[in-house]
């Protein structure tokens, strides 16, 4: 691509090549993107159907974290599939390169948030969870009040 004739607006909002009327299609990553997006849909589906009880048992904190992670992940995969289909079908507005970069920023923000969470916050949440479990173990359970309707 010649940088003298490069137009950022045409590149972001065009269908490929240097301008929007160019017939070139520089997007060659359909298969890897398809695999990533299908995995981003199938993993939360499996987790919702079977994995939640199989992987975490009674660990409430890890279930909560995995629930949040999966609830963030499946929309990313669904939108990615829609964008990939629109690009493959050469749909005018949805097939723009701009939307693929916005999707990639969304994915980067998702990954950045979870990396930040596990580096900065997870230890604190885990310590709080363990303290709460220990407190529940040693605190007596409240006794049920007998009903006054026995005659």
Residue 147 lies in a domain: no
Structural domain of residue 70, as residue ranges? 9-18+27-138
* 101 within a domain of the structure (yes/no): yes
Residue 61 located in a structural domain? yes
Residue at 90 is within a domain = yes
- Residue 146 falls inside a structural domain: no
**What is d(CA 85, CA 41) in angstroms, rounded to the nearest whole number?**
15
In a domain, 73, yes or no: yes
Tens of pLDDT, residue by residue, the chain (151 residues): 556 666 666 656 665 543 344 455 566 777 888 898 999 999 999 998 888 888 877 888 888 999 999 999 999 999 999 888 887 777 777 767 788 888 889 999 999 999 999 999 999 998 998 888 888 888 877 777 776 665 5
Number of separate domains in the chain: 1
Q: Is residue 149 part of a domain?
A: no
With respect to residue 84, please indicate whether it lies within any of the assigned structural domains: yes
């Amino acid at each position: 691509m010649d940088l003298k004739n490069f137009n950022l607006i045409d590149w972001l909002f065009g269908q490929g090549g240097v301008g929007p009327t160019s017939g070139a299609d520089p997007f060659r990553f359909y298969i890897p993107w398809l695999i990533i997006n299908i995995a981003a849909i199938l993993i939360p589906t499996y987790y919702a159907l079977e994995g939640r009880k199989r992987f975490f048992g009674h660990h409430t904190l890890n279930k909560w974290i995995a629930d949040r992670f999966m609830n963030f992940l499946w929309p990313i995969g669904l939108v990615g599939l829609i964008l990939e289909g629109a690009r493959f079908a050469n749909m005018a507005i949805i097939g723009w390169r701009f939307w693929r970069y916005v999707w990639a920023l969304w994915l980067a923000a998702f990954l950045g948030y979870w990396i930040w969470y596990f580096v900065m916050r997870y230890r604190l949440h885990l310590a709080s969870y363990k303290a709460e479990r220990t407190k529940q173990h040693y605190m007596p359970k409240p006794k049920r009040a007998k009903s006054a309707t026995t005659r």
